[in-house]
Amino acid sequence: MNQPRALVIGGSLGGLFVANLLRTIGWEVTVFERASGDLAGRGAGLGIHEELFAVMRRIGIRADDSLGVAVHSRIAFDRTGNVVCEVPVRGIASAWDRIYRALKNALPEQCYRSGVQLERFLQDERSVTAIFTDGSRASGDLLIGADGVHSTVRRLLMPQVEPRYAGYVHWRGLVGEADVPATLHALVFHHLAFHFAEGELAFSAPIAPETPGSGRRCQFVWVRPVDYEVTLPQLCTDASGRCHGISIPPPLIRPDLIRDLREQSKARLAPQIATLVGRARQPILQAIFDLESPRMTFGRVVLMGDAAFVARPYVGMGVTKAALDAQGLIDALVAWGGTVAAALPRYEEERRQFGSLVVERGRRLGAYIDAQRRPLGGLQTMLREWGAAGVIDGETIGAAIA
Ligand SMILES: Cc1cc2nc3c(=O)[nH]c(=O)nc-3n(C[C@H](O)[C@H](O)[C@H](O)COP(=O)(O)OP(=O)(O)OC[C@H]3O[C@@H](n4cnc5c(N)ncnc54)[C@H](O)[C@@H]3O)c2cc1C
């Protein structure tokens, strides 16, 4: 029997997880990534869940605490910087680059093609053919859309399904160890530290060094409500007056916006977090969307990761969900002896339910942030459930923070 072949569209973490896992069950794989060159260096902090480690080990990657920095607890400040709540949740804070690098190194070079953008695809009972913008083609048994929230694969299949703006943006920024005042080291490198301002949220988190032994880093994230029609395009307008739509390359963010951000952080946030806002060299702006796909499989084509479901970042599940989608697909293929037609319905059933639960959970946690008056019990639950993965216990969380 010929070796089955998969075409993976998108070479970020989701695409790398599924490509590596498919190779462990004897598939031939090619990843097609639109961006030229390396994606590392563009990511930031990432909470690690045991589920993510487990999938990495299945690929043969050594995955342990050395991939990150140990976090001892989660704390919440009031406006003046007093700790009003502490929840002893231990965890590992890693970095997007570290996971990306490990997965990319595990995949043979000839399996990854950069600078190749999917335009469309054709499929019949026997095969699927990807057609790229440079006119080249590739055929296989299965095409996997791991091409992110603005997925071309999804748009071709379900043009009506669009990401939904969540009503707020993230400002975030990295601060290197040398720029963090010594008095804040113990705090920012060992804890997730939150401040729930009115209708807003800001937090700091440590980030693993880019390579083992290099300097520690931390990041601030500030979640702020912003209207989609007027203010978001204004924030995405550069100093020459050109509007970049609903996102903007960080170096083009107007200096007056960054000045305002720093000034407002002093007025609105706990001083510890405002210090990080002031010291981050290049703040990044990102509008937050969520996305729910009604279907994940179409003949020989499947969606996974952010192409299928995107939850608000409070559930901290983007990467782990992509890894679990990849694992779900591989398990379904193994269970059905590699028969695509039989395996995909099982994948769809399991992963669609999970994706919907995660999106719903993100919305509930988001509603807590929107609320103006919050009970302390809700605050404790919020800290505990932040970034929680694994078994999704939406009912408990929803009830506790309502
Ligand atoms: C550069 C980068 C940095 C990130 N940093 C963080 C972070 O710091 N923390 C965090 O929690 N999450 C981060 N994320 C998001 C996180 O990776 C995802 O939530 C999660 O890994 C699931 O993503 P995905 O692989 O499904 O999609 P994505 O990570 O969005 O990747 C989709 C990939 O598909 C490629 N692509 C899109 N369209 C096409 C096409 N037509 N043809 C070929 N390729 C295409 C894109 O270039 C991209 O590389 C980052 C994503 C990217 C791309």
Give the model confidence (pLDDT) of 76-128 as tens digits.
999 999 998 888 887 788 888 889 999 999 999 999 999 999 999 999 999 99
Distance separating alpha carbons of residues 348 and 361, to the nearest angstrom: 20
pLDDT, average across residues 308-316: 84
- Tell me the one-letter amino acid at 291: L
In this structure, the number of other CB atoms found within 10 A of the CB of residue 378 comes to 17
pLDDT, average across residues 239-253: 93
Task: Average the pLDDT over each of 1-5, 28-32, 271-275 and give the range with the smallest value.
Answer: 1-5
Global confidence as pTM? 0.88
pLDDT at residue 378, as a whole number: 66
Whether 375 shows a pLDDT value over 90: the answer reads no
CB 224 within 8 A of CB 195: no
- The model's confidence at residue 199, banded by pLDDT at 50, 70 and 90, is confident
Regarding the beta carbon of 118 and ligand 1, being less than 6 Å apart is answered: yes
Three-class SS of residue 368? helix
* Gap from CA of 77 to ligand 1 centroid (Å): 32
* Gap from CA of 43 to ligand 1 centroid (Å): 9
Whether 399 shows a pLDDT value over 50: the answer reads no
Three-class SS of residue 198? coil
Contacts of 24 (CB under 8 A, 6+ apart): 58, 59, 60, 330
pLDDT tens track for 153-190: 999 999 999 999 989 999 999 999 899 999 999 888 88
CB 131 within 8 A of CB 120: yes
* Gap from CA of 401 to ligand 1 centroid (Å): 30
- The model's confidence at residue 374, banded by pLDDT at 50, 70 and 90, is low
Closest CA to 322 of 346, 308, 347, 305: 305
Distance separating alpha carbons of residues 43 and 195, to the nearest angstrom: 23
* Gap from CA of 39 to ligand 1 centroid (Å): 9
Q: For the chain, give the mean pLDDT.
A: 88
Rg (the chain; Cα; Å): 21
Q: At what angle do helices 394-401 and 376-385 cross, to 10 degrees?
A: 150
pLDDT at residue 400, as a whole number: 31
Distance separating alpha carbons of residues 25 and 9, to the nearest angstrom: 19
**C-alpha count within 13 angstroms, C-beta hemisphere, residue 73:** 10
Closest residue by CA, ligand 1 atom 15: 318
pLDDT, average across residues 10-24: 97
pLDDT at residue 303, as a whole number: 98
- The residue to mutate among 96, 99, 136, 320, having the most atoms of ligand 1 within 8 angstroms of its beta carbon, is 96
- The model's confidence at residue 317, banded by pLDDT at 50, 70 and 90, is confident
- The model's confidence at residue 133, banded by pLDDT at 50, 70 and 90, is very high
In percent, how much of the chain has pLDDT > 70? 91
Helices (H), 41-184: 50-59, 96-106, 152-157
